[in-house]
């Protein structure tokens, strides 16, 4: 039996982390995103559709000037590339760990990635809705997706690392 799932945005978050000056980590969020999943019953390893989109214009790092720079042509080019897309191809269990294989599309550059997933389980909430929970993590190279802006301080420190860590808390509602 085909089962459709939608993201519960009030119980989910989509974050990324990047090293700044190689001494601290800056956290960013996307506030507008969507995720649709189709499975056979409640078994996510049978997923036939995993489609995620994040609205680039909704990016927030708690710094308006930096957010504007990230939306500019030097980074995401939000005017031309309004969304980041992820299409899941396979959700598999490997011993005690789950892996989500798919394609990430940033600025029209599509690369395969594998994300680590902690499956929290499935429960029925007090309102009778069936929900599933996941913690998703992974790493990508920003430069591999055309996010190549670089700067170096006078002392020779790199301003922004190439490695971006992805951290998401996802709650789905069975529809």
Q: Is the pLDDT of residue 150 over 80?
A: yes
Helix (H) or strand (E) holding 66: helix 64-71
Which token pair is 14?
A: 């989509």
Contacts of 117 (CB under 8 A, 6+ apart): 91, 97, 98, 99, 100, 134, 135, 136, 137
Q: Which domains, from first to last, does the chain contain? A: 2-174 (2.40.128.110)
Q: pLDDT tens for residues 61-120?
A: 999 999 999 999 999 999 999 999 999 999 999 888 899 999 999 999 999 999 999 999
Helix (H) or strand (E) holding 69: helix 64-71
Measured CA to CA, the distance from residue 9 to residue 172 in angstroms comes to: 9
Helix (H) or strand (E) holding 100: strand 97-106
């Amino acid at each position: 039996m085909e089962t459709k799932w939608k993201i519960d945005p009030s119980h989910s978050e989509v974050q990324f982390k990047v090293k700044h000056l190689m001494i601290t980590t800056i956290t960013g969020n996307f506030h507008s995103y969507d995720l649709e999943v189709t499975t056979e019953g409640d078994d996510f390893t049978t997923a036939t559709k995993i489609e995620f989109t994040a609205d680039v214009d909704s990016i927030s790092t708690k710094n308006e000037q930096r957010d504007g720079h990230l939306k500019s042509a030097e980074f995401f080019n939000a005017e031309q590339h309004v969304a980041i897309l992820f299409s899941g191809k396979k959700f598999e269990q490997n011993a005690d760990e789950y892996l989500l294989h798919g394609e990430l599309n940033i600025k029209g550059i599509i690369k395969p990635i594998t994300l680590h997933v902690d499956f929290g389980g499935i429960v029925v909430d007090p309102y009778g809705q069936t929900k599933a929970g996941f913690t998703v993590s992974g790493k990508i190279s920003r430069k591999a997706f055309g996010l190549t802006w670089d700067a170096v301080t006078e002392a020779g420190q790199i301003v922004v690392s190439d490695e971006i860590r992805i951290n998401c808390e996802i709650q789905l509602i069975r529809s």
